Each structure stands twice: as C-alpha cells, then as structure tokens.
Structure 1
Amino acid sequence: MTEPLSVAAIALVCFTTLTLGALGLRLAKGTSDFYVAGRAVTPWRNASAIGGEYLSAASYLGVAGLVYESGVDMLWMPVGYTVGYLVLLVLIAAPLRRSGAYTLPDFAESRLESAALRRGCALLVVGIGWLYLLPQMQGAGLALRHVSGLPTWVGATVLTVIVTLNVAAGGMRSVTLVQSVQYWIKLSAIAIPAFVLLAVWSQSGAPAPQADASWWEPLTSDEPTSRSLFTTYSTLAALCLGTMGLPHIAVRFYTNPNGVAARRTTVAVLALLSLFYVFPPVYGFLGRAYLQTPDLANDPSRTVVLALPGAMLSGLDGRLLTALVAGGAFAAFLSTASGVTMSVAGAIDQDVIRPLMARLTHGDAGPAATFRIAAGAGVLTPFVVAVSAAPIGISSAVGHAFAIAAATFAPLLILGVWWPRLTAKGAAAGVAVGGLTTTAAALVSVVGHLPAGWIGALIAAPTAWATPLAFVVTILVSLVTPASRPRRWARTMARLHTPEGVFAEAG
C-alpha cells in the first residue's frame, strides 16, 4: 500500500541532502578540504556529524527490532554503541588528531613507516566499508518499498546516486554539512512519534506488551546461543573496541583543529548518542502490544519502527507519524552511507587510483578528479550485491563490521599510540590474524550455517577471542623483530603525545 506522505517525506530528505551537498561543493578546493574539511570543524558541529554518521540503520531500525524480538536482553546494545566513544576518548582521540594523518592507512604508514602495512590497512578500510554499506542500501530499499510498494532496488539506487553525488561534489566538506543536519533530522523523526505513541498507549488503556517470560529477563541465559552471556559480552567488546577502528568514525577526528577539540567532540558525541538511544527501545516495547510478526512482513528487525505508527493510529495522524519516521530512516541510511563512502573513497583514491594515475601520466591528476572516480568505484560493488543478493540482517552485518574493526584497527591504534616498541612486522602480523579470523567468522555467519553449541557462538561473536589473539600476536612478533621498529619512532611518539600548545610556544 502506497503512503504518499511517507514518499514525500523521503523525497524531502533526499532533496535536503543534495542541497546541503551542493553548498559543500563551493567550499572544497584542495586535498585538505576533500579529506578532512580543512581541519576546521568545531567540536559541536563535528559531534553532530558523527552522530549523523554513526546512527545507522542498525540504530534507527535495528535496536527497536531487537528489543521487539528478544526483549530487554537487547538494551545493552545501545549502551555498547555509546560506550565505544568513551573508550575512544580515553585512549586515542587526541593522539589520533595530532598524528596529522588523513586516514587510518595514513596513520599506519606514518607511525610504522611501512608501505606494505598501509596497503593492508587500505584493503581493510574498503572491506569494512563495503560490509557497512550493504545493509544501508538494502535497508533503504526496504524502507521505500514499505511506504511505496516499489521494488527494493529502487531505494538502493536512489541512496547510491545521492551519496555518490554528495561525496564526489565536495568530499568531507559536503559530508560534514549533510551529516550534522541529518543527526537532528533523525532525532526529531524518532523522538516526536515516540512521545505521541507513548501518550496514545497510556491513555488508551491498552494491555502491556505480550511476550514470554524470557522477553522480560535480561542477561539470564548461560547456553551458547545467540542470547548467551558469552555472545553478549563478546558483542559488547566489539562495540567498545570496534568504534575506534571504524574507518568512517576515525577519519572524523582528523577534521578537528587540534587534540583538545577532538576530546571535546567525543564528549559531545556521548551526550548526543545517549539522547538518541532513549527512543528506539520505546518502539520495540510498544510493538509487543500492537504488532504481530505477520504484520511486519516477517522482518520485524527492519520494519517495526515503520509499522508501529499506523498500527496505533488510524487516519491522517498515523500517516503523518509514519511519514516522519520513514523520512528519518532514509536520513539514517543517507548519512551513514555518506560517511562510509567517504572513507572507502579516500582509501581507493590514495592507495589505488592516484598511484596508478601518477605512473600512467607521470604527474598528479589533482585530488578532486581522482577522489570523484574513487567515490563512484567505492559504492559499485556493495550496490551490485545489495540489489542482487538476499537481504542480510542489519544488526548482524554491522556487528561483524565492528568485530573486524575491533580485531584489526583497535590493536594497531592502541599499541601504535601507547607502546613505543611496536614494530611494522608486529603490527602487520596482528592485523592479518585479526582480519583473517573475524572475516572468516563473518563469511560463515552471513553466507553459511552456524553449527550448534559453543562453536557456533564463537563464530557468531568472535571479538572475545580474536581481539586478544591479535593483541598477543602483535606484541610477540614485535618483541622478536626489533629490527623492523621504525627509525623515527621517538619523534612520532612525541608528536602524538605533546599538546599543540607546547609546539606553539616553542615556535
């Protein structure tokens, strides 16, 4: 059934996104503008942009769906999403900004002076980005189909075209402007209907949510299933450590003017995320009182937020609230996909296209030209998979992206910032072990069939064992390969840990 108001809301969000991207085009002139917005983004604007980027389909739709399906067990999920920024604040926020790098591969090369490690990190950036982009594209197709009846490939195509145009137009300048506005769009779109629906429920005398006893009991199972304590704690570890390793999150801290601004940005992000995550569980809670699984097209993890307003309110009121949440959902897809595409395009541009163009033309084709080619190439593969493959779970795909980031970039960043004896071979070995183990687990979980018992639990949530393994391998290999320690390690460590004010006074 077509919902004209919802289609109009999605169209308005798309138009707003394109307009903001066009404004960013007028500001982007050089390499610094395209990659890090001139390193001049203020803490609150950057925090809003990070909130817009980080609150993906897994947050906007997935958290409510998980609460609807599994109960209060799932309330730890938004807590984990938010706590990741506290870990990032304490461990790497300011040093990462002081590194002076543009991307995570840049940081790896500048810290460890290894071109091979840089290429490996660039490959990981692209892989994590594609795994993150896929559910955003499929979710956009599902959201548009839910309100218009159009095939799912239409929504995926609309998302891909708009994101590519925005990223190619002004790089990080455009993306920052788009994402900082879209955080507030998403917050309004999920908060206003939540307040209205809670008021309707409280005044209507409707029964409490109906579910079996386990739905109300948090963290009670000790069996190796998808709801076991092991899986919960392993996923929490992935969210805490994976946040700092997500390429599209890390690159945002390079846009701050200095390390102090990076810390202030992180504190502001914690406040903005905490405010947003109050509302998705409300939809899962009320869904248990008003929705049945057949009403959700057998996919409650994606559609409970979209279906609930119409189930609780009939007529124009229900359609208006549905339009609001549909517009917010599409804003979530657009803003997250923009940030991920930005990080993927940066890796492809710096490590594939520009070196290739330099060899072919014996010169520099210019950052704008090569970056725009990279932006188009970066979204092509996930788009083809999104429109041709069966849908995958939003939370599952994003969870595996966090797990891969936690087992690869988290050890590299933490040890790179705090351990002077880290060597290039040690870092490469740790990244390889963490990447291979978690990628294999993701492939088995998404494509294959998980075995029963503890083996299945270990594969479904690999962070608890893969990340410690990566840390141990990195440390041991570094200890036995002191010759591969970078020559300028002392100078690099001083730059990472010396406040900018000291350099200003020395100058």
Structure 2
Amino acid sequence: MTLTIWHVIGILATLAVIVGVSIYSGRSVKSAADFDRGGSSGPWLVAGAIMGALVSGQATVGTAQLAYSYGLAAWWFTLGAGIGCLLLAVGYVVPLRHSGSTTLLGIVSQRYGKAAGYWGSVLCSLGIFISVIAQVISATALLTTIFPMGMGAAALVSVAIMTLYVVFGGVTGAGMGGVVKLFLLYLACIVGSLTVWSLSGGVTPLLGRVSDLCQAPGMDAVLGLSGGADAFHTRFLSLVARGPLKDVGSGI
C-alpha cells in the first residue's frame, strides 16, 4: 500500500491528539497525590487508565500479527484479558475500596508488612519495565513501516512520546489518553470492518480471498503452510492452531 498525504496527516493528527491530551491533563496535576492517584478521577478516567494500559502494543500490533499468522487463535489473548478485567471488577473492587488503599500493593503491605510491599514493588517495577520494552518494540516497528526512518530514530521518537505522556499527565493523563485511544481504536475497527465487509461481499467471499492469498506463490514459505486449502482451514480457522497448551495457556 502506498501512503498518501491523508494517511500521513491522520497519523500525525493522532499522535498530536495523544500528546496534547497528556499535556492538557497535566494542568490538573498540582501535587504528588494528583500525579499518583489522579485527584478526583471519575469512573471514566479510571476505566481509561486500566483499559488504555491493557489495550497496548501487545494487544494491537502483537495480536494483529498473531491473527495474520494463525487466525482465530489470536482470540485467546483478548479472552484472557476480558476475563481478567471481569475478575478484577467482581472480586477485587469492593475489598480494595474497603481497605482504604489505592493499590493492590497497599493491601499487601497492610496484610503482610512493609517488606512484602517493598519486594512486590520491585517485582512490579521489573514487570512494567519489560512491558515498556514491548511497547517500544511495537511502536518502533509501526514507525519504521510507515515512515522512512531507522530503528534508532523510531525508538527515540517512541520513548519521547511515552515520556511526555507520563511526565505531564500522571494517572489523569493515562486515563484521558486511554479513553481517547479506546475511542480511536473502536472507531478504526468499526469503520475498517464495515469497509472490508462491503468490499468483500460477506464472510464466505472474504475467507475465500484470504485462503487464495495465503496459498499465493511464496506465501506458504512465509507462513509455514503446506497442503493447500486443508492447511489453511486447519491453521486459520482453529482456536488452538499453535497447540492447546500454548493457546489456552496464553488466555489463562
């Protein structure tokens, strides 16, 4: 696909909106408590912060790549994330509110002592660091695919945007940015799905075109397919295409 000026304008406008929301939200940060807890954040900002963090590069670029390579098996990540949010809402919200703590690590400190809270913070920080690396890798791949820039420059741009996002806005910026990001993702998915549906003529013709594309010369080597149409249906229409333990385990 050849990028047009409208593609570039759309991409730059999206980045500008995200950065602008973060800077704007920073105006409400007056203290460390505002930065850490978002002051009087309402349910929309809290939901935006949680879902914005969940629907990240792994859930968009990573899951899209998995769906391209294995089809319906990519559904397990979405299922696991949804079940996790449901368990959080049903099982943890009320005890967390009654505890008076703002984080799960606060509850751990209350129950098991400051040492447990300290080591929990260290482990969570390491996990977040790994997650940030995954986000930078996803953003770098996206930028180098769209723009004529090297890996180093794309990584620096990604880190700079993420730094603005965190430093200026804190939790409020994460919440507002998450709401904006979810809106843009839903809009893109709905518009894209309707466009593909109208152009393809329905599910059966669409699957037929995808099957033909996957069996095009050279694609079998790229995707690791052999056996023609049977291999396509086994690979892309199976919920456990990578193996039951691996796919179901990723959902858990």
Instruction: Kindly state the Cα deviation for residue 191 of structure 1 after the two structures are TM-superposed.
Output: 2.2
Preserved CA contact (<8 Å) 1:21 1:170? yes
Equivalent residue for 1:139? 138
Preserved CA contact (<8 Å) 2:96 2:103? no
Indicate how the Cα distance of structure 1 residues 13 and 74 shifts in structure 2: closer, same or farther if over 3 A, else same: closer
Indicate how the Cα distance of structure 1 residues 173 and 143 shifts in structure 2: closer, same or farther if over 3 A, else same: same
Q: Matched residues in 2 for 1:220 and 1:155: separation?
A: 34
- 1:229 is aligned to 2:244: yes
Alignment of 1:104-123 (within 5 A): 104-113=104-113, 115-123=114-122
1:55-97 Cα offsets, whole Å, 9 max, x none, are 1122222223222212333333322221111222222122123
Alignment of 1:72-471 (within 5 A): 72-113=72-113, 115-202=114-201, 207-210=208-211, 211=229, 212=231, 213-219=233-239, 227-237=242-252
Structure 1: gaps spanning 5 or more residues = 222-226, 238-507
The amino acid that maps onto 2:128 is G
Indicate how the Cα distance of structure 1 residues 64 and 166 shifts in structure 2: closer, same or farther if over 3 A, else same: closer
Give TM-score scaled by structure 2 length: 0.80
The amino acid that maps onto 2:133 is L
Q: Matched residues in 1 for 2:177 and 2:77: separation?
A: 26
Q: Matched residues in 1 for 2:177 and 2:67: separation?
A: 30
- Seq. identity, %: 22
Q: Matched residues in 2 for 1:157 and 1:90: separation?
A: 40
Q: Matched residues in 1 for 2:247 and 2:121: separation?
A: 30
Q: Matched residues in 2 for 1:116 and 1:105: separation?
A: 11
Q: Matched residues in 2 for 1:134 and 1:37: separation?
A: 25
Preserved CA contact (<8 Å) 1:35 1:102? no
Equivalent residue for 1:42? 42
Q: Matched residues in 2 for 1:186 and 1:196: separation?
A: 15
Instruction: Kindly state the Cα deviation for residue 130 of structure 1 after the two structures are TM-superposed.
Output: 1.3
Indicate how the Cα distance of structure 1 residues 48 and 105 shifts in structure 2: closer, same or farther if over 3 A, else same: closer
Equivalent residue for 2:14? 13
What secondary structure does 2:201 align onto? helix
Q: Matched residues in 2 for 1:119 and 1:86: separation?
A: 28
Deviates more, 1:41-50 or 1:185-194: 41-50
Indicate how the Cα distance of structure 1 residues 23 and 71 shifts in structure 2: closer, same or farther if over 3 A, else same: closer
Tell which structure's C-alpha radius of gyration is larger.
1
Indicate how the Cα distance of structure 1 residues 162 and 192 shifts in structure 2: closer, same or farther if over 3 A, else same: same
Q: Matched residues in 1 for 2:143 and 2:74: separation?
A: 26
What secondary structure does 1:26 align onto? helix
Q: Matched residues in 2 for 1:42 and 1:15: separation?
A: 24
Preserved CA contact (<8 Å) 1:2 1:149? no
Equivalent residue for 1:23? 24
Preserved CA contact (<8 Å) 1:48 1:179? yes
Structure 2: gaps spanning 5 or more residues = 212-228
Indicate how the Cα distance of structure 1 residues 156 and 3 shifts in structure 2: closer, same or farther if over 3 A, else same: farther
Instruction: Kindly state the Cα deviation for residue 216 of structure 1 after the two structures are TM-superposed.
Output: 4.7
The amino acid that maps onto 1:67 is A
Equivalent residue for 1:270? none
What secondary structure does 2:30 align onto? coil
Preserved CA contact (<8 Å) 2:49 2:175? yes
Give TM-score scaled by structure 1 length: 0.42
Q: Matched residues in 1 for 2:11 and 2:236: separation?
A: 35
The amino acid that maps onto 2:85 is Y
Q: Matched residues in 1 for 2:149 and 2:5: separation?
A: 12
Root-mean-square deviation (CA, aligned residues, Å) is 2.5
Equivalent residue for 1:55? 55
Q: Matched residues in 2 for 1:178 and 1:216: separation?
A: 34
1:425-446 Cα offsets, whole Å, 9 max, x none, are xxxxxxxxxxxxxxxxxxxxxx
Higher relative contact order (CA 8 A, sep 6+): 2
Q: Matched residues in 2 for 1:143 and 1:234: separation?
A: 27
Q: Matched residues in 1 for 2:117 and 2:155: separation?
A: 31
What secondary structure does 2:7 align onto? helix
Q: Matched residues in 1 for 2:144 and 2:6: separation?
A: 14
Indicate how the Cα distance of structure 1 residues 82 and 62 shifts in structure 2: closer, same or farther if over 3 A, else same: same
**Count of matched residue pairs:** 230
Instruction: Kindly state the Cα deviation for residue 160 of structure 1 after the two structures are TM-superposed.
Output: 1.3
What secondary structure does 1:209 align onto? helix
